[in-house]
Amino acid sequence: MSIKEKSAAPTKLIHCIVGARPNFVKIAPIMKALEFHPEVKVNLIHTGQHYDHKMSEAFFEDLEIPKPDRHLNVGSGSHAVQTARIMESYEQVILSDKPDLVLVVGDVNSTMACSIVAAKELVPVIHVEAGLRSGDRTMPEEINRIVTDALASYLFTSCQDGEDHLLREGVAPEKIHFVGNVMIDTLVDSLPLAAPKQMADKLDLEGKRYAVATIHRPSNVDDAAGFERILSILEAIGEIIPIVFPIHPRTQGRAEALDLADRLRACPGLILSPPLAYLEFVDLLRTARLVLTDSGGIQEETSVLGIHCLTLRDNTERPITIKMGSNHLVGTDPGQVIEKAKELLAGDRPKQHCQIPLWDGFASERVANLIVKICRGEI
Residues acting as catalytic residues = 216
* Backbone CA torsion sign across 345, 348, 350, 352: positive
Under 8 Å CB-to-CB from 103, ≥6 apart: which residues?
14, 15, 16, 17, 30, 125, 126, 128, 371
Give the three-class secondary structure for 194: helix
Please report, as a single letter, which amino acid is at residue 372. Answer: V
DSSP string for residues in 14-77: EEEEE-SHHHHHHHHHHHHHHTT-TTEEEEEEE--S--SGGGTHHHHHHTTPPPPSEE------
Q: Which residues pair with 14 in a beta bridge?
A: 42, 101
Q: How far is CA 164 from CA 91, 131, 206, 327, in A?
A: 32, 8, 43, 21
Q: How far is CA 339 from CA 111, 314, 333, 345, in A?
A: 37, 16, 10, 10
Measure the CA–CA gap between 293 and 318, rounded to whole angstroms.
13
Measure the CA–CA gap between 123 and 378, rounded to whole angstroms.
17
* Backbone dihedral angles phi then psi of residue 235, each to the nearest 5 degrees: -65, -45
| Ranges assigned E (strand) in the chain | 12-18, 40-46, 70-71, 101-105, 125-130, 154-157, 176-178, 211-214, 243-246, 270-273, 290-293, 308-311, 327-329
